[in-house]
Amino acid sequence: MKIAFTTSDGVHINTHFGGSEQIDVYEISDEGYHFLESITFNYEIKEENNESKLAPKIEALGDCTIIYVLAIGGSAAARLIKKGVTPVKARSEEEEVSEVLTKLVKTLKGNPPPWLRKALQPKTKNFADEVENEATV
C-alpha cells in the first residue's frame, strides 16, 4: 500500500496539509518500505484560498491509503476520507517519517488496530462515482 507524508525536509512530518508544498509517498508492506516519489506543489505566496490548493493534492493522493500530516482542516480531511485516504495527525513536527514507517511495518506483521484494518480494506466506489462512470461510457 502507499503511505504519504506532508513534509518540508523529507525527514519530518512537519507541514499542514493545505499549505504543504511537498508530499512524499512510500510503498509499504509487512516486508518493509521504500520511497516512491516526492509530489511538489508550488503556490503564489499571495494565494490565500486554501480550498484551491486542496483539489490537486487530493487528486494526487488517490491511490494512497494513509496520509500523515502535522495538521489538516475538516474540509480537507472529509474530502480525503471520501476518496478512501485516511488522514492521520503526527504527534509533533519532530516526528520522523522513517519512525512511522518502521512502526507501521511492525504493526502490519502483527495485529493491526481497527482503524488500520479499515484503512487497508479495498477502496469502494460510491454510488455517485459509479453513476458518473456509466454516464461517460
pLDDT tens-digit readout, 39-55: 998 765 445 555 667 88
User: What is the DSSP annotation of 52-112?
Assistant: HHHHHHHHHTTT-SEEEESB--HHHHHHHHHTT-EEEE-S-TT-BHHHHHHHHHHHHHS--
Per-residue model confidence (pLDDT) at position 129: 53
List, run by run, the mean pLDDT of 10-residue segments along the chain (137 residues): 95 94 94 95 60 84 95 94 94 95 90 81 59 48
Residue 133 host element (H or E): helix 127-135
Q: Would you state the pLDDT for residue 120?
A: 76
Collapsing DSSP states into helix, strand and coil, what is residue 129?
helix
- Return the pLDDT at 43: 63
